[in-house]
Amino acid sequence: MTSTERIVKHIDFLDGLRAIAALFVLFSHTWYQIWPAVLPPYGYGNRPTGLILMLTSWLYYGHFAVIVFIVLSGFCLMLPVIKNNGILRGGTLQFFKRRAKRILPPYYFALLFSLLLIWFFIGLKTGSQWDISLPVTQEGLLSHLSITQDFVTSTQINYVFWSIAVEAQLYCFFPLLVLGWRRFGGVKTTLGAGLIIYTTILLLEITQSKDIPPQFVGLCFYFVLGMLAATIVFSPEKFWYIMRQYFPWRFTVVGCVLAIIFFCYLWGFDKAEKIFSLLDTLCALGTLSLLVDASNSENNTIRKIISSKFLVFLGTFTYSLYLIHAPLLQLIWQYIVHPLNFGKGTEFVLLLLIGTPLILIVSYIFFFYCERPFLNIRRITA
């Protein structure tokens, strides 16, 4: 089977995995809507107790889904490079044009959508997680228009938009990373990037810097790991063939997942929050290993499950879902669920049952009109 044929067969799996990550984000933020669990200024430190805490505490860690998205982004962007013998198709300028067309129009539509909802319906603080998006300042608006909100006012307007800025900035370095791949190879480029990034993280930890969270810096390396995963899976070189066939990838996936669960429950919310850079690294390595393991066999059970038609369908509009779900959660909670005056546990269940289908429907409509017209024609480059 040629490299191109193998890439095409892998696309459904990528869409399914993207859908799972997006649903995890949605369910996690539904939980946060009821219990803004992070300590101020990013929440109120309100958390469930007793049995509800035992059953739902895993939803605190929706942050890990962002790591999966970042790894998938590096993976998908590297596929056409591998197909084109290590050369960026069309050159750097064309790459930036394709990325801008793919990412920016839906983002600006979602920005306008969020601002309109804030102006007319959800502009007052209500004690929910949405409060960290308020108020909207001139500085916040300008930073979001220039896509630099991850450096300033990262939670204003729509608290998920910080990651869009991170992704956009990672794209700026992608051509340089591709050049490193060509000149030095994937291993040396990955190790070099890892050395620079983790040295920076260590220095930030030592100095206890609060201006730049260490886990934000780590996102750069997870993007590189996605590129490495694509190289392992699809490169025809003998070294990478041996790696994908004989390294215990599935064991690594299980090991990373168990380690994350162990440390999260051992440390608890607050300590895990402070050491997210370590947990995020485990998540990124687990995602890399899952991507490679799913490519190893036509009868791979994990790939078949994740490539189900429903998940693949959801995977086609996860970007839209990610962009607009947070203000929709606030809207549904504020005007439908919360006025019923039930307890928080009941509110959470109702918000899941009512909010999830409504948000999926609205997200698909948003996708159809605000994202689909700007999709790149070649699916493997999206």
Question: What's the pLDDT tens digit per position in 235-279?
Answer: 989 999 999 989 999 999 999 999 999 999 999 999 988 888 889
Q: pLDDT tier at 381 (50, 70, 90 boundaries)? A: very low
Q: Which of 9-13, 101-105, 167-171, 209-213 has the lowest mean pLDDT?
A: 209-213
- Is the distance from CB of 277 to CB of 201 less than 8 angstroms? yes
Q: What is the predicted pLDDT for the residue at 382?
A: 42
d(CA 364, CA 226): 27
Task: Residue 133: name the closest of 109, 151, 149 by CA.
Answer: 149
Q: What are the DSSP calls for 183-213, one per residue? A: HH-HHHHHHHHHHHHHHHHHHHHHHT-SSS-
Where residue 128 falls (left for φ over 0; alpha for ψ -120 to 50; beta otherwise) is beta
HSE toward the beta carbon, residue 258, CA cutoff 13 A: 6
Tokens of 94: 């064309």
- Is the distance from CB of 370 to CB of 102 less than 8 angstroms? no
Q: What is the predicted pLDDT for the residue at 376?
A: 66
List C-alpha distances in Å: 307 to 4, 296, 343: 18, 15, 38
Tokens of 359: 């948000």
Question: What's the pLDDT tens digit per position in 339-354?
Answer: 999 999 999 999 999 9
Question: What's the pLDDT tens digit per position in 283-309?
Answer: 999 999 999 998 876 667 888 889 999
- Is the distance from CB of 130 to CB of 147 less than 8 angstroms? no
Question: What's the pLDDT tens digit per position in 55-93?
Answer: 999 999 999 999 999 999 999 999 999 989 899 989 999
d(CA 17, CA 189): 26
Q: What is the predicted pLDDT for the residue at 302?
A: 83
d(CA 303, CA 305): 6
Is pLDDT above 60 for 44?
A: yes
Q: pLDDT tier at 379 (50, 70, 90 boundaries)? A: very low
Is pLDDT above 60 for 3?
A: no
Name the helix (H) or strand (E) containing 302.
Answer: helix 301-306
Q: What is the predicted pLDDT for the residue at 275?
A: 83
- Is the distance from CB of 260 to CB of 27 less than 8 angstroms? no
Give buried/exposed letters for 172-204 (b at 16+ CB in 10 A, else e).
eebbebbebbeeeebeebbeebbeebbebbeeb
Where residue 91 falls (left for φ over 0; alpha for ψ -120 to 50; beta otherwise) is left
List C-alpha distances in Å: 201 to 140, 192, 294: 26, 14, 31
Question: Tokens 């608290």 appear where?
Answer: 159
The percentage of the chain sitting over the pLDDT mark of 90, rounded to a whole number, equals 80
The pair phi, psi for residue 294, each rounded to 5°, is -65, -15
d(CA 298, CA 283): 25
